[in-house]
Amino acid sequence: MALRVSHPQAMNTAQPNPDVLCVGETMAVVFPDGPFSLTDPTAPVRLSVAGAESNVAMSLSRLGVSTAWWSRLGDDALGRLVCDHVAAAGVSILAVVDAARPTGSMFKSMEKGDTEVVYCRRGSAASAMSVADAPRIRRPGRLIHLSGVTPALSASADGLVELLLSAVPGVLRSFDINYRKKLWPVSVAGPRLRELANQADIVFVGLDEAEALWGTRHPEDVRAELPGPARIVVKDAGERVVCLSRSGVVSVPAPPRQIVDVVGAGDAFAAGFVAGLLHGTAVVDSLSLGHYCAGRALATIGDAPVLPPFHEALAIARAERGNAAWKEAVS
């Protein structure tokens, strides 16, 4: 059964034939409304949603890229919350209801500049994703985006990710490593994420993730582990981002940022880079746009930042890069 969207504005802004499709779990998230601990019973809290792929979908939509999101949700209030929240960003909702399983949830605590996350997702509706869902998933016009979170949920979800990376012809396949050590150990995740990433056209990975998974310490070492993708985007924390492609290497330093919450910054970066790529901008501009979108995420509590339209965001990103202190290095 298709999940009904109740937000009237979202119904008007949804796109019937999206350029981009994002597939993966989104959960309800509870977090303190301020610098409080979730262990404090008097702390005010907020209820929102969080999910790597829907974060990318919402940021892409806010940049003006027609985007859809597919997942499985429980037939419950949290599932409807997720649906309405993502749809309100203008994303087409293609989720289906699983009446036998709940929508996943998570709790986020922010104390002394550190973010801690507790997941309640075992047995969630999204963990039941499988290759049997493939006929329900609409083929996007230009690109499909997935992450390494989904194959960690269950063997059946892993099978769906592999199918979508290997058997959707005619579209770009984007894959964010997104390693979550709480979901699976390095001994399992390392080889499996290498296999999946090598089937993608575009791969996003943090240098710290790559070192944890494969022992690689430099972007060039990551390329040796992942010879398959046409483009590998390696994020070196707050230092720089490097894109390794068949035509060469482009590196853009990270501008200084105010950091309120780091969660969601990688998703925002991926959205900015993909938006630039789909608009045909130069790689250096796509990386700069990724930096700008990530910066907006770092400066706010919440996983998907509010962004201006594409051309406005790109102009700001170019202006930031043009600052003498942050000039790009291209090799």
Among residues 303, 238, 233, which one has the least CA distance to residue 268?
303
d(CA 224, CA 215): 12
- Coil, strand, or helix at residue 200? coil
3-class secondary structure, 327: coil
Q: Is 267 among the residues known to form the active site?
A: yes
Q: What is the DSSP letter of 2?
A: B
d(CA 203, CA 288): 17
Catalytic residue, candidates 19, 98, 133, 267? 267
DSSP code at position 324: G
Tell me which residue of 108, 146, 147, 124 sits closest to 263, measured CA to CA: 108
Largest alpha-carbon pair distance within the chain? 57
**Which sign, positive or negative, has the C-alpha torsion 319, 173, 197, 95?**
positive
Which residues participate in catalysis according to the annotation?
267
